[in-house]
Structure 1
Amino acid sequence: MASSMAPPPGCGNIDPDYYFLCDVCAAWGIGLETLAAAGVLATLILLLAFFVCSCMTKDKNKKNVIPIQFLFILGTLGIFSLTFAFIIQLNKKTGLIRFISFGALFALCFSCLLTHASNLIKLARGKPPLSKLSMLIRTVGLTFIQIIIAVKYAILTVERGGIDLANMGREQRNKDFVMLLIYVIALMFFTFIISMFTSCGPYKSWKRHGMHICITLLFSIAIWSSWISMLLLSGVPSDVDQSQWDDPLFSVALVANGWVFLMMYTLPEICFLTIPHQSEDYPSEGILWKSTARQQSVEAGSTHAPDKEGAEDDVLFPPNGTGFQPKNPETKPNFSIPRAMLHPAYRQEIMVHCEAKRQAK
């Protein structure tokens, strides 16, 4: 759009690149701008609620996931904010922002979901969960792979090649854009597969968290499949400029996926963040309780039953099974049994021996 042209209705004396933000004739810009702004506001409100609920959380396993959930909410906030870079017309600055930020933000969100799903698989099967540091390292590491890919493309293609993304051919630019997102697409599908395994295991309370991730990825795959197919397979209508075809497509994908992240994952996870501790949710504690109870029962069976006078004495079980031997006080027996478990024929003799032993003392 030439700078000498009169501003469209609704726009004042501003740069032509920002006309879609105020042009009432191009309603898609105003509509998507409104949805993106509403998404930013909703994300900030949920972020505040997340801080409040995280301070009230007493569950250690849920506290360990709070850092990556915080990164996920920040990534969602960035996705809504990036929508404005696609409403503003493509130029040298917005081109780099689009190519680098789009994949990096989605890689961050999908990495958070993948790490959370991997942790849920362990909890649902009764295995020790991942540590907080381990989950952070995994999330940041998976995100940096996409950042390195995008920055390398920008350095080799844009800077060294001297190619202006705004003047690049539409078909080639769209192909490069999708090629840069191959890692993110693979990450999204892999996270969806991992999230399905969260339903395996005896501890059902953790499975609902995995269901949030699975549903979120299912809607995300549908959105990505739609916009990539339209971008690469569908042609531009003859009466529509290419910028008015591609830009709304990217913007709709960003806004739709952002709202899916909020409604399908962030909001339910915040609601479940403050649920009280449930004993059946923690197999490690349950196994520990059973082990302790079993050990106490064994110890109770090996204690000595008091006699009628209230005295207790350890008795070695006779090795040949035909007699008894009083315990040597200087030698610790290898195995002791309660007096009540001895044969009745030996009970009187044992009591006489114990009485003589007390009188001797």
Structure 2
Amino acid sequence: MATVPWGCRDKNLNARYHRLCDLDAVWGIVLEAVAAAGAVTSVAFMLALLVLVCKVQDSNRRKVLPVQFLFLLGVLGIFGLTFAFIITLDSSTGPTRFFLFGVLFSLCFSCLLAHALNLMKLVRGWKPLSMLVMLGLAVGVSLVQDIIAIEFVVLTMNRTNAAIFTELSPPRRNEDFVMLLIFVLFLMALTFLTSCFTFCGPFTGWKRHGAHISLTTLLSIAIWAAWIILLLVTPTPGPEWDDTILSSALVANGWVFLLIYVTPEFQLLTKQQNPMDYPVEDAFCKPQFMKQSYGVENRAYSQEEITQESELPKRFLHSSGPDSGQPLQ
């Protein structure tokens, strides 16, 4: 039986959970606390989203709320997955790491991609995507990574055994882990490229939303480039540093999602609809009552013309007489 480290009160605690309370490996406790704070913040944002849904005045901002709620679910999962990397790698945490890492990030970036595509249409004054189309796009794109992860995990475990993730050498395991995330890397690049197109259009009010997505994706790319280089290129002090790098990347990217995208979007959520963000025929201050009053005036004017025209024969008869040179009928 492994010696219980200092800081863990339960003497019968399984060795796989020692990092959660080991004061000698303080990185696990720090990341655990930061991940827990991120999870609580994500839940708070989700509840706030449900409360504020009735106060959203702009219909196009209201349509993206289901996608943003799905995005927050993905962020919550990312913070929860951090604990799987703090706990020691074994036959149960191995499949969880390989499967959920790409699935959760693909869900988040798919939601950002759907939002960016909708903004790309709004900033040009085109008809925006419907709520169901954006939701279907986010779910559909993320399912690609789900299929890839399921095939990898199932085939790998069936080909050998459940302990294959712990039996692989750390360099080989890291290479397989990064290869499994190629679609997520492509999705990140596509989301960033799409968000750049949201800056091209006459309706500038939507460009701020595009800036949130662009900056979020750019920082995520930087975080991913850093941990991939640390795992595959830079020699680490030992295999135990792999879990530290990956769990730190999860926590950092989760907080980037919350601080750079979610928080600014919440600030704009209940903002009053600006007529300058839409074409004239779709503007909030469209002069409908002016058009209606204009129609009433036209009808009144037409009625007056009809009355005047009906009185013309009578005036003509009264004006006819001996002086007119025409006989009276």
Measured against the shorter chain, the TM-score band is: 0.7 to 0.9
Aligned 8 A contact 1:304 1:312 in 2: no
Q: TM-score normalized by structure 2? A: 0.88
TM-score, reference length from structure 1: 0.80
Give CA-to-partner distance per residue, 1:43-75, whole Å, 9 cap, x none. Answer: 122222221221211321111101000000110
Does the 8 Å CA contact 1:53/1:270 hold for their aligned counterparts? no
Equivalent-residue separation in structure 1 for 2:314 and 2:212 (angstroms): 69
**Residues 108-145 of structure 1: CA distance to partner in whole angstroms, max 9, x if unpaired?**
00000000000001111100100111111111111110
**Counterpart residue type for residue 312 of structure 1:** Q
CA contact 2:275–2:285 (8 Å) conserved in 1: no
How far is 1:166 from its partner? Answer: 1.0
Q: 1:285: which partner in 2?
A: 282
Which string of whole-angstrom CA distances, capped at 9 and with x for unpartnered residues, describes residues 180-231 of structure 1?
A: 1000000001100100111111111111111111110111011001001111
**For the residues of structure 2 that align with 1:197 and 1:312, how far apart are their CA atoms?**
60
Task: Please identify, of 46-55 and 120-129, the stretch whose mean Cα deviation from structure 2 is larger.
Answer: 46-55
SS at match of 1:129: coil
- Is the counterpart of residue 213 in structure 1 residue 213 in structure 2? yes
1:184 and 2:184 matched: yes
Counterparts of 2:73 and 2:174 in 1: how far apart (Å)?
A: 27
Report the CA distance shift for 1:135/1:353 in structure 2 as closer, same or farther (over 3 A): same
Alignment of 1:25-174 (within 5 A): 25-162=24-161, 164-174=164-174
Comparing 9-18 with 67-76, which one deviates more in the overlay?
A: 9-18
SS at match of 1:166: helix
After TM superposition, give the deviation of residue 291 of structure 1 in Å.
10
Distance 1:161 1:357, change over 3 A: farther
CA distance in 1: counterparts of 2:168 and 2:59, whole angstroms: 52
**Matching of residue 262 in structure 1 with residue 258 in structure 2:** yes
Distance 1:305 1:181, change over 3 A: same
The letter of the residue matching 1:10 is: G
Paired letter, 1:355: R
Displacement of 1:288 = 10
What letter corresponds to residue 316 of structure 2 in structure 1? A
Q: Which moved more, 1:283-292 or 1:10-19?
A: 283-292
In the TM superposition, what is the alpha-carbon distance from 1:292 to its structure 2 partner?
A: 10
Pick one of 267, 274, 281 that aligns with 1:271: 267
Pairwise CA RMSD: 2.8
CA contact (8 A) 1:212 1:265 kept: yes
- How many residues are matched? 314
Residue in structure 2 matched with residue 233 of structure 1 by the alignment? 233
Deviates more, 1:270-279 or 1:192-201: 270-279
Moved more, 4-13 or 144-153: 4-13
CA contact (8 A) 1:304 1:313 kept: no
- Within a 5 Å distance, the mapping from 1:190-209 to structure 2 comes to 190-209=190-209
Residues 90, 289 of structure 1: alpha-carbon distance in 2 compared, 3 angstrom cutoff: same
Change in Cα spacing, 1:352 to 1:165, as seen in structure 2 (3 Å) is closer
SS at match of 2:144: helix
TM superposition outliers: structure 1 runs of 4+ over 3 Å: 286-297, 303-307, 310-314, 351-354, 357-360
For 1:355, the equivalent position in structure 2 comes to: 315
8 Å contact kept, 1:40–1:81: yes
| AA in 2 matched with 1:25 | D
Contact 1:117/1:210 (8 A) holds in 2? yes
Counterpart position of 2:242: 246
Deviation of 1:5 (Å):
3.0
